[in-house]
Amino acid sequence: MKENEYNETFDMSLERQHQDTMKLIKQYQLIGEQICKMPATPSRVLEVELRHLAELVDLQQVRINELESEVRRLEMLATRV
């Protein structure tokens, strides 16, 4: 690879990194704008919502554990055959 080809490749790589960084910055700006537009919510409501979400996460974790157990059981059956 010649030096100018290397420089072009390097420049393209830097440009790609720059574009990715700019996309991330734009995404964070949009998220920040959405957060600023959110109505003020009483802390009690947020606590209830967080408890509910925590319960949902717990239920999903239980389901994941059940599915992992089922996968192990099926793997054991498959290896016996």
Using 50, 70 and 90 to split pLDDT, how confident is the model at 81? low
Residue 45 exposure: Cα atoms within 13 Å on the Cβ side: 4
The two tokens of residue 10 are 């390097």
CA 10 to chain CA mean position, Å: 29
Q: Which among 4, 25, 23 has a CA at the least distance from the CA of 12?
A: 4
* φ and ψ at residue 36, rounded to 5 degrees: -65, -30
Instruction: List, for residues 22-70, the tens digit of each pLDDT value.
Output: 999 999 899 888 888 878 888 898 899 999 999 999 999 999 999 999 9
Ordered by start, the domain boundaries in the chain are 1-38, 40-81
